[in-house]
Amino acid sequence: MKIIFTILLIVSINYTSAQVGGERVFSFLNITTSAHQAALGGEALTINDDVNQPLWNPATISKYMDNQVAVNYVNYLTDVNMGSATFAHLINRRFGTIHGGIQYLNYGDFIGADENGVETGAFSARDLAISVGYAYNIPWSNFYIGSNIKFLSSKIENYTSQGAALDFGVYYFSDDKPYSVTAVIRNLGYQITPYDEIREDLPLEIAVGASYKLYDVPLKWHLTLNNLQQWNIAVANPSDNETDLEGNTTTNDINFFTNAIRHVVIGGEFFPDKGFNIRFGYNFRRAAELKLTETRTFAGISAGFGLKMGRFKLDYAFTKYHPAENTSTFTLHIDLTQK
């Protein structure tokens, strides 16, 4: 465990000045395509019964995911569409389970133009990630460690970029305990081939998460503290500015609390072990950044459900990534072990 915490400390120090929020290449890696996770606020790290979860936390890979398949689709914003597919297979009881996943983002079609504004035709853009993951249960303990290796590709018109990334997770889970905790380093990698001549950083993220299942109520809570590699992630919202009768504008200041709370994501799930689940979540950073002073946007709120029917399970999530548009996420799980 000392080695694990040393790695976390070194990485956090090296990336203290890291940027977040679309200022890095392959940023689509930090957008979930799982309806289960999206409904819980977008970044629940302790889900252990979903074959999509290892894309965010490879330490959750287990033998219980054997021959589980999931296909995900996100009607993101305007013509932007996202999706993913995941699969897990138990090689044998001695070796363990291998997990694989494919993520894509299609930005749609664009109209190209030269420096004089003359149209040059339509072009498209897309991002793609292929991952392979494995987790190991430390003998005589309830600790699991796991890692993903990801191969990344991006294309904007005729410009292409390739990269590689690594995820690393530590997870504590026991069937006899109502709680579980985890720590994850995601997207630690390198842009192998830049679009032009300048290499860009990947969207590294360090996060910790926990969950707790109540005894007397069929409710399971999830808590995530994200973007721990950078303390200051808050940006003043222009809609919070106040202008007096003389035209003087007062900018909303970011204090300790408003910055700290933006690292928090919470979620809850009713009837987590039943065939029908109801889920809800709240992302504090998303709520703060999408808030409008005179309009109720419901930013930060997410909700969804899961419905299991034999070997099939359907998950749905409703989220707000933009004040002007709603986002729906769909997931279909298939258990290949059932006939």
Convert the pLDDT of each residue in 209-259 to its tens digit: 999 999 889 999 999 999 999 999 887 666 666 666 666 676 767 788 889
Distance in angstroms (rounded) separating the CA atoms of residues 152 and 71: 19
**How many CB atoms lie under 10 A from the CB of residue 262?**
23
Predicted pLDDT at 282: 96
Residue of higher predicted confidence among 291 and 69: 69
CATH number at residue 122: 2.40.160
Nearest of 331, 330, 325 to residue 77 by alpha carbon: 325
- Determine contact, residues 292/239, Cβ cutoff 8 Å: yes
Altogether, the residues listed in the chain come to a count of 339
Sign of CA dihedral 46, 52, 58, 59: positive
- pLDDT tens track for 142-168: 999 999 999 999 998 888 999 999 999
Residue of higher predicted confidence among 46 and 248: 46
The percent of residues in the chain predicted with pLDDT above 70, rounded, is 87
Quickly state the pLDDT bin for 301 (edges 50, 70, 90).
very high
Mean pLDDT of the residues in the chain = 87
Name the most confidently modeled range: 131-140, 244-253, 280-289, 316-325.
131-140
Domain that holds residue 112: 2-335
Flag whether pLDDT at 206 surpasses 90: yes
Quickly state the pLDDT bin for 4 (edges 50, 70, 90).
very low
| b (16+ CB within 10 A) / e for 275-299 | eebbbbbbbbbbbbbbbeeeeeeeb
Flag whether pLDDT at 19 surpasses 50: no
Predicted pLDDT at 74: 93
Domain total of the chain: 1
Quickly state the pLDDT bin for 110 (edges 50, 70, 90).
confident
Flag whether pLDDT at 8 surpasses 90: no
